[in-house]
Amino acid sequence: MRALITGVAGFAGSHLADYLVDHTSWEIWGVVRRSRWRISHLQGKIHTVACDLSDPVATQQLIADVRPAVVFHLAAQANVGASWYNPWSTYEANLKAQLSLLEAIVNAKVEAQVLVVGSNEAYGRPVYLPIDENHPFRPVTPYGVSKATQDLMAQQYYLARNIPVIRVRPFNHIGPRQSLGFVCPDFASQVARIEVGLQEPVIRVGNLSARRDFTDVRDVAVAYWLALTQGTPGDVYNVGRGEAHAIQEILDILLQASRVPIRVEQDPKRMRPSDVPEVVCDASKLRAQTGWKPSIPFRQSVLDTLEEWRQRVRQQESVGAP
């Protein structure tokens, strides 16, 4: 069984690769573009290939060469905040890559089961809570628009091209290896730098009252595997814990774990143009079909993120990095 992970060097992609290496006998291939630090520990265990998925010709060659039996499509511009500043780059990155990939599968006549990763951001401002798969799309961010379109595109290729596509709509996920630009690593990195004197003991924050459904990325990786192997082609599954936590809770956990006192200051520049007060996931459909449920507590996810940043800051100090 040959599996292809697009975005294998990304946050969720690297954890999915970890899971597949440890729990399957599959031959794992991954598409990379730039940084590979998240998968450096997997050298010799997976095959990687450089490919710009927005290039249809290169993507066609990739699929023809690898001929995967399963495809996990995770590659995307995933920063919601960044999508406000350059919406087109988000649309182009997320839509063109997926279109190239699905067209390549059709043209190469590869019989691959495909998992397309959407997002709860497609739901936008909730009409009701918890949000199930029947909730209408009401995206309030450019990123949400791109993910809603990816979702619809995947459904179209299932209906019109008979590609066995399964869609997932993950809610917020956190944990080790997440990039800066997301709330948990943004706070954790600052705490780690403050502890060693690389930053003044102040964390500037935006809206701390927003409540989100956070799931550990390692649990999300398991959900993706189960959805693809046990889900029904053409169907869609939410992925989330089923409970909301305020951004304030993340900050409180980190401040309690900090080795030095830290001051918190409100910064109006960190407020987003449109913020949804509360989001809660209904993942009962995925649980009923696959038995999936999160196993890593919310607090542990936050503390694991902090510990990773402490290690990274120590490594930066040891090599004299700024």
CATH number at residue 55: 3.40.50.720
pTM of the model as a whole: 0.95
CATH number at residue 193: 3.90.25.10
Domain that holds residue 270: 183-212+243-279+296-318
Is 65 among the domain residues?
A: yes
What is the pLDDT confidence band of residue 321, given thresholds at 50, 70 and 90?
A: low
Domain shared by 120 and 187, yes or no: no
Q: Is the pLDDT score of 266 beyond 80?
A: yes
* CA atoms of 9 and 48, how far apart (whole Å): 9
pLDDT, tens digit (0-9, with 9 covering 90-100), for 203-247: 999 889 999 999 999 999 999 999 999 999 999 999 999 999 999
Q: Quote the tokens at residue 255.
A: 């401040």
Domain shared by 29 and 71, yes or no: yes
pLDDT for res 274: 55
CB-based contacts of 172: which residues, under 8 Å, 6+ apart? Answer: 120, 212, 213, 214, 215, 240, 279
Domain shared by 221 and 115, yes or no: yes
Domain shared by 87 and 71, yes or no: yes
Is 11 among the domain residues?
A: yes
Peptide bond into 56 cis (omega under 30): no
Q: Quote the tokens at residue 118.
A: 């959407």
CA angle at residue 228 from 223 to 234, to 5 degrees? 115
Domain shared by 226 and 113, yes or no: yes
What is the pLDDT confidence band of residue 272, given thresholds at 50, 70 and 90?
A: low
